[in-house]
């Protein structure tokens, strides 16, 4: 496990192999020079989306989060106890002679643009991790959540000049762009 990111050169590779019944083992040293790029540990990004769901489980029972209202009107439905009284639709209630409420849904399909500072100050180490690595982790977590919600994600990495621009889109193009050599 590498402690720093960057490009490393390997001169020798040790290969260990053994038989199917584990009766014999052998080790060979191969002279093979190769370069390997080391990227920050982004394993925590995958766990964030699962951790959110785990917080909604209590004693083995899944707790459904109450749908918080978004800003985009969805439809009008009958009022049920527990609905927010601020969303009552008085005109529809007067026509139907019963209480009606507006239902809103979270906005989808929006473009989330992540601006990533790759300047000199981001090379400072905090608690054994470089600030840029922590920022990459946060950016990928935000991108993963936005993509899961159906939004488009764009990325702009900069220092004294623009380094990487990934236009808005869906999918894992942003993850691949963050691994490019132009980020170092």
pLDDT digits (tens, 9 = 90+) for 30-66: 888 888 887 766 666 566 656 655 555 544 555 455 5
Q: Which residue has the higher pLDDT, 29 or 58?
A: 29
Q: Label residue 182 left, alpha or beta by phi (over 0 means left) and psi (-120 to 50 means alpha).
A: alpha
pLDDT in tens, 56-114: 554 455 545 555 556 778 889 999 888 888 889 999 999 999 999 998 877 777 889 99
User: How long a stretch of residues is the chain?
Assistant: 184
For the whole model, what pTM was predicted? Answer: 0.51
pLDDT reported for residue 41: 64
| Contact yes or no for 5/40 (Cβ under 8 A) | yes
Q: What is the mean pLDDT of residues 157-173?
A: 85
Q: Mean of the per-residue pLDDT values for the chain?
A: 78
pLDDT reported for residue 162: 92
Neighbours of 163 (CB within 10 A): 15
pLDDT in tens, 18-28: 888 888 899 99
E strands, the chain, where?
6-18, 25-38, 57-58, 61-62, 72-78, 100-105, 111-117, 125-126, 129-130, 152-158, 162-169
**Of the candidates 154, 171, 173, which has an alpha carbon nearest to the alpha carbon of residue 116?**
154
**Of the candidates 116, 120, 130, which has an alpha carbon nearest to the alpha carbon of residue 164?**
116
């Amino acid at each position: 496990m590498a402690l720093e990111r960057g490009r490393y050169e390997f001169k020798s590779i040790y290969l260990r192999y053994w038989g199917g019944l584990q009766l014999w083992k052998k080790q060979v040293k191969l002279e093979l020079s190769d370069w390997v790029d080391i990227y920050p540990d982004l394993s925590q990004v995958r766990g964030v989306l699962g951790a959110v769901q785990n917080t909604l489980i209590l004693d083995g029972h899944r707790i459904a989060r109450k749908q918080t209202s978004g800003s985009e009107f969805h439809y009008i439905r009958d009022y049920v106890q527990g609905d927010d009284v601020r969303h009552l639709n008085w005109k529809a209630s007067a026509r139907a002679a019963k209480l009606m409420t507006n239902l809103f849904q979270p906005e989808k399909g929006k473009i989330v643009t992540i601006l990533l500072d790759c300047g000199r100050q981001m090379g400072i180490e905090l608690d054994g991790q470089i600030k840029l690595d922590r920022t990459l982790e946060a950016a990928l977590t935000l991108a993963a959540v936005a993509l899961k919600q159906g939004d488009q994600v764009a990325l702009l990495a900069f220092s004294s000049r623009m380094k990487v621009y990934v236009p808005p889109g869906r999918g894992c193009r942003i993850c691949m762009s963050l691994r490019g050599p132009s980020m170092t």
